Amino acid sequence: MDRNTNLKIIAIVVCVVLVAGLGVALGVLAHKVKTFNTEMGAIYDSAYYATLDGLGDTENKLMKVQVSNYNKTKKDLLQEVYTNCEVMSVSLARLNNEEFDSTKLMKFVNQLGGFSSYLSKKLPDESITTEENTKLLKLTEVVTALEKAFAEAGDKVALGGSLYSTLQEGIDTLQGVYDAFDMTTVDYPEMIYDGPFSDGLLDREAKFLGGKQEVDRATAKERVEALYGTTTDEGEVSGAIPSYLFSIGEGSVEVSKVGGYIVELALESDDGEINYTKEQVMTSTKDFLNILGYSDMEAVWVSVNGDMAYINFAYVKDSVIYYPDLIKAKVSLVDARVIGIEAQNYLYNHVDRAPITERGNADEISLKEGFEIVAKRMAVIPTEWNTEQSVYEIAGRYNGAFYYLYYDIVTLEEIKVMRVIQDENQGELIV
For residue 311, what pLDDT is reported? 92
What is the three-class DSSP state of 245?
A: strand
Helices (H) and strands (E) in the chain, counts: 11, 14
What is the three-class DSSP state of 340?
A: strand
Q: What single-letter amino acid sits at 118?
A: Y
Q: What mean pLDDT is predicted for residues 362-366? A: 91
What is the three-class DSSP state of 373?
A: strand
Structural contact between residues 265 and 339, judged by C-beta atoms closer than 8 angstroms: yes
**Is the pLDDT at 291 greater than 90, yes or no?**
yes
Structural contact between residues 46 and 33, judged by C-beta atoms closer than 8 angstroms: no
For residue 134, what pLDDT is reported? 85
**Is the pLDDT at 426 greater than 80, yes or no?**
no
Cα–Cα separations (whole angstroms), residue 377 to 10, 95, 114, 160: 50, 38, 26, 56
Task: Summarize pLDDT for 296-309 with one digit per residue, the tens.
Answer: 999 998 988 888 89
For residue 49, what pLDDT is reported? 80
Pairing of strands 320-332, 372-382: parallel
CA separation for the pair 64, 56 (Å, rounded): 13
Residue % of the chain over a pLDDT of 70: 74
Q: Which comes out higher in pLDDT, residue 96 or 291?
A: 291
Task: Summarize pLDDT for 68-93 with one digit per residue, the tens.
Answer: 777 888 898 898 998 888 888 878 87
Q: What mean pLDDT is predicted for residues 138-148? A: 85
For residue 40, what pLDDT is reported? 38
Task: Sketch the domain layout of the chain as residue ranges.
Answer: 3-189, 207-349, 362-429
For residue 175, what pLDDT is reported? 56
Looking at every residue in the chain, the average pLDDT score rounds to 78
For residue 266, what pLDDT is reported? 87
Task: Summarize pLDDT for 187-231 with one digit per residue, the tens.
Answer: 444 555 566 776 655 556 889 999 999 999 999 999 999 998 888
For residue 183, what pLDDT is reported? 44
Q: Which comes out higher in pLDDT, residue 284 or 112?
A: 284
pTM equals: 0.59
CATH 3.10.450 fits 362-429, yes or no: yes
Q: What mean pLDDT is predicted for residues 324-344? A: 92
Structural contact between residues 76 and 178, judged by C-beta atoms closer than 8 angstroms: no
CA-wise closest residue to 132 among 144, 147, 120: 120
| pLDDT-derived band at 362, boundaries 50, 70, 90 | very high
CA-wise closest residue to 34 among 250, 270, 240: 250
